[in-house]
Chains A and B, each alone.
Chain A
Amino acid sequence: MTALRGTGRGPWWSGDSRRRLVSAAFVAACGAAVLLAMVPLVMILFFVISQGLQALNVAFFTQMPRPVGETGGGMLNALVGTLVLTGLASLLAIPIGVISGIYMSEYRGTRLATATRFAADTLNGVPSIVIGIFAYAVAVLPFRQFSAMAGGLALGIMMIPIIARTTEELLLLVPGALREGALALGATRARAVFSVILPAALPGIITGVVLALARIAGETAPLLFTAFNNRFLSTDLRQPIASMTVQIFTYAISPYEDWHRQAWAGALVLVAFVLVCSLVARVVTARVQRLRG
């Protein structure tokens, strides 16, 4: 016991007291760093919520934008547009992403798998504006037409590597014993993947998809010259389409007070969407862990 308390001899900067002081200072520094890191997040949330709530009303979700000068109206076209664009992106990215994720985990170590993984990581790091330019070159220029399809393509390309890598990592987490169990019962490799391994990893994969959705729903750059924007409510995939982010951008840089308020409301809705996505992801993960525990 006495040894634990220290000797109590010597000046304060030697031995135990000095060690404790250093430790306390370090813990305090860590705490301060955490607080500092929280400041921007708290301030963003504070501004978005306080400004956004003032402008948010039922009309925001149900009405179309009013002409310049008239107050009121909403962002129905942009809400619908974002749904269409993220839907298109998911249609493109979920199958390609999940299947390449399966390939990377099942054929781990093969050259193609390594190359695919490298490509996915590179694609993940490509600035979104570059992906927008690519989609512009392949899906806008040839048709001389901005379109929802081009916007969906740009967002889908951004989603693919996220989903592929998440799928791969989650499949690798599935215990090898499950695969052996399936094979020992006379399952083929494909059968084992689709009937046992993929279902076991599915909740995690869904979480990954939801987080990828949250990520691309907030993208502006890839849409600027692909989906462009549309003042009218449109669901035509061959026509330009509005989106929350581009609408917020347009409104925010405009000189009109009413548009600024609308932009804040839009920002709040986007933040809320991302928050809901993260919550869904957390709930799903927690439930899965409970099931496994």
Chain B
Amino acid sequence: MTPPLVTPHAPPVRDPAPAAASPPPPKIDVQQMSFYYGATRALQDITLQIHPNVVTAFIGPSGCGKSTFLRTLNRMNDIIPATRVEGKALIDGEDIYAPGVDVVQLRRRVGMVFQKSNPFPKSIFENVAYGLRINGMAKSRTDLAGRVEESLKQAALWTEVKDRLQTSALALSGGQQQRLCIARALAIKPDVLLMDEPASALDPIATQRIEELVYSLKSSFTVVIVTHNMQQAARVSDRTAFFWLGRLVEYDRTDRIFTAPAEKLTEDYVTGRFG
């Protein structure tokens, strides 16, 4: 599908953890997680740590479980009937699958952007204001307007829409709609932003803008991005996890995954021999 990626100059080396004393505690710590759709085991004993203020990419062929795994991190899979999770997923040391966890609170802290942009059939302003309203986060009208503007600026959409905030979000282009969805997710100030193939339905230029955006977001957020586009993973991420048939095959710094993977399977995948 994709040409071989192993070129000496391709992936920029961006070591997330400078050689300082002790690394910061992981933002997300998943321990031996398995996930079932009915009797089918879609994820098998996944264990990995996601570091704060880093972009982590999940790659792998279709159906390998990368999206399913992403959706376990804000419990979006809860809405699918007959699914079951085993193991633990700690965010800031708290198990999000422990009894008594408020899913609504969890999803406020762990935002999500979907593969297909899904703006609400409301105005641009109302789309971004939605999360602020339902979570009672704006103190006044001016506060609300300020937060909406800030989020749109963060998502690099403000200059394009500032004169038509009251028009329907559905009139925006595909790329703009996706950035609107990112702005909507950022507005409620999550700690973690999950992105499920956010650029897969977009043209190259719109994709580039999303990638630049992802790169700029990591200073304030922990970003986890699922992608089936390996060049994209190489461009935007600091760490990459390779999934295959519901297993985590390898997880390392992105440059190592793409230049010197430890597993044969990873190498075959990133060089385009399968998938």
Using a CB–CB cutoff of 8 Å, the interface residues on chain A facing chain B are: 109, 175, 177-188, 191, 195-196, 199-200, 291-292
Contacts and interface: CB of A to CB of B under 8 A. Distances in A.
B120 A186 contact: no
Contacts of B74: 184
A189 to B, nearest CB: 8
A191 to B, nearest CB: 6
A77 to B, nearest CB: 44
A111 to B, nearest CB: 14
A177 B130 contact: no
Nearest to A109: B81
A181 B118 contact: yes
B118 A185 contact: no
A292 B134 CA distance: 25
A181 B104 CA distance: 13
B121 A185 contact: no
Nearest to B74: A184
B108 to A, nearest CB: 4
A52 B105 CA distance: 64
B14 interface: no
Residue in A183, A185, A195, A292 with the greatest tally of chain B CB atoms within 10 Å:
A185
Contact of A185 (B79, B81, B105, B111): B111
B170 A184 contact: no
B118 A180 contact: yes
B135 A186 contact: yes
Contacts of B181: 181
B170 A291 contact: yes
Interface residues of B, number: 27
Given A186-B108, A186-B188, A292-B170, A199 B76 contact: no
A182 B170 contact: no
A191 B168 contact: no
B61 interface: no
Nearest to A174: B121
B104 A177 contact: no
Contacts of B130: 182, 185, 187, 195-196
Given A182-B130, A185-B184, A199-B121, 12 more contacts: A178-B118, A180-B112, A180-B114, A181-B119, A183-B107, A185-B111, A185-B131, A185-B188, A186-B107, A187-B104, A196-B120, A291-B121
B233 interface: no
A179 B121 CA distance: 12
A111 B215 CA distance: 49
A182 B120 contact: yes
Contacts of B112: 180, 184
A187 B76 CA distance: 12
A184 B134 contact: no
A179 B184 CA distance: 14
A82 to B, nearest CB: 35
B134 A187 contact: yes
Contacts of B131: 185-186
A172 to B, nearest CB: 15
- In the A-B complex, the 9 residue pairs with the closest CB atoms: A177-B118, A185-B131, A186-B108, A184-B112, A181-B118, A186-B107, A200-B121, A186-B104, A187-B134
B105 to A, nearest CB: 7
Interface string B108-129: 1001101010111110000000
27 contacts: A178-B120, A178-B121, A180-B76, A180-B118, A181-B114, A181-B118, A182-B130, A183-B107, A184-B74, A184-B107, A184-B112, A185-B107, A185-B135, A185-B185, A185-B188, A186-B105, A186-B108, A186-B134, A186-B188, A188-B104, A191-B134, A195-B130, A199-B122, A200-B120, A291-B121, A291-B168, A292-B121
